[in-house]
Chain A
Amino acid sequence: MSILLNQKTRVLVQGITGKIGSVQTHWMLDYGTNIVAGVTPGKGGANVEGVPVFDSVSEAVVATGAEAAVFFVPASFVLDAFFETVDAGIDLIVIVPEHLPVHDVMIMHDYLLRQTGRDIFVLGPTTPGITTAGEAKMGIMPGSLFKPGKIGIISRSGTLAYEMTGILTDSGIGQSTVVGMGADPVALTSLANILKRYEEDPGTDAVVIVGEVGGVQEEQAADYIKRMTKPVAAYIAGRFAPEGKKMGHAGAIIRGTQGTVKSKCETLGAAGVTILDTPIDVLPWAKKTGH
Chain B
Amino acid sequence: MKLYEHEAAQIFGEMGLPVPERVVVYSPEEAKAAAEKIGAPVVIKAQVLVGSRGLAGGVKAAETPEEAFAVASRIIGMSIQGIKVEKVLVTKKVSFQKELYMGITVDGYRGQPVVMVSSEGGMSIEEVARLFPEKIGTRHVPLNRGLMAFEARKLVKDAGFPAGQIGACADILVKLYQIFLRCNALIAEINPLVILQDGTLMAIDAKLEMDDSALKRLGKLVPKDHVRNETPMEKKGREIGVTYVELDGDIGMIASGAGLGMATMDIIGKKLRPANFLETGGGITEELLYKTMDLMMMKKGLRAIFINLYGGINPIHEGAKGIVRYIKEKGVKIPIVAKALGNRQEETWEILRSGGVHVVEEVPTEKAVAKLFEVLS
Contacts and interface: CB of A to CB of B under 8 A. Distances in A.
A258 B169 CA distance: 29
B106 A102 contact: yes
A107 interface: yes
Contacts of B342: 142, 144-145, 162
Interface in B278-302: 279, 281-282
B221 interface: no
Given A166-B363, A167-B364, A186-B111, A279 B263 contact: yes
A112 to B, nearest CB: 8
A100 B277 contact: no
B265 A170 contact: no
A75 B109 contact: no
A157 B111 contact: no
A31 to B, nearest CB: 12
Given A142-B312, A167-B364, A248-B243, A106 B106 contact: yes
Interface stretch (B56-64, B209-217, B317-325): B209-217
Contacts of A175: none
A246 B211 CA distance: 12
Interface stretch (B31-39, B158-166, B252-260): B252-260
Interface in B338-372: 341-343, 362-367
Contacts of A250: 212-213
A185 B108 contact: yes
Interface string A178-206: 00000101111010000000000000000
Interface in A12-63: 20, 24
Contacts of A101: 184, 211, 213-214, 217
Interface stretch (B3-11, B40-48, B199-207, B266-274): B266-274
Contacts, number: 189
A190 B109 contact: yes
Contacts of B55: none
A266 interface: no
A128 interface: yes
Contacts of A186: 106, 108, 111
A210 interface: yes
A32 B258 CA distance: 28
Interface string B302-335: 0000000011110000000000000000000000
A103 B184 contact: yes
A126 B208 CA distance: 25
A157 B313 contact: no
Interface in B166-190: 181, 184, 186
A107 B255 CA distance: 33
Contacts of B263: 160, 163, 235, 237, 278-279
A237 B243 contact: no
B269 A239 contact: yes
Most chain B beta carbons < 10 A, residue from A188, A217, A220, A245: A245
B126 interface: yes
B376 interface: no
A187 B108 CA distance: 7
Nearest to A184: B108
Nearest to B274: A240
Contacts of B256: 159
A280 interface: yes
Contacts of B274: 240
Interface in A136-151: 140-142, 144-145
A264 interface: no
Given A103-B184, A166-B363, A251-B108, A142 B343 contact: yes
Contacts of A228: none
A239 B274 CA distance: 11
A248 B257 contact: yes
A140 B362 CA distance: 22
A114 B143 CA distance: 11
A109 B362 CA distance: 40
A106 B143 CA distance: 7
Given A110-B111, A248-B279, A157 B259 contact: yes
Contacts of A128: 312
B28 interface: no
20 contacts: A102-B213, A103-B181, A105-B111, A106-B143, A110-B111, A111-B144, A113-B111, A142-B342, A157-B262, A159-B255, A159-B257, A162-B341, A162-B342, A186-B111, A235-B263, A237-B262, A237-B263, A240-B262, A248-B243, A248-B258
Smallest CB-CB A-B distances: 10 pairs: A157-B259, A159-B257, A248-B258, A160-B259, A109-B111, A159-B260, A248-B279, A237-B262, A101-B214, A185-B108
Interface of B: 106, 108-109, 111-113, 126, 142-144, 181, 184, 186, 211-214, 216-217, 243, 245, 247, 255-263, 265-267, 269-270, 274, 277, 279, 281-282, 310-313, 341-343, 362-367
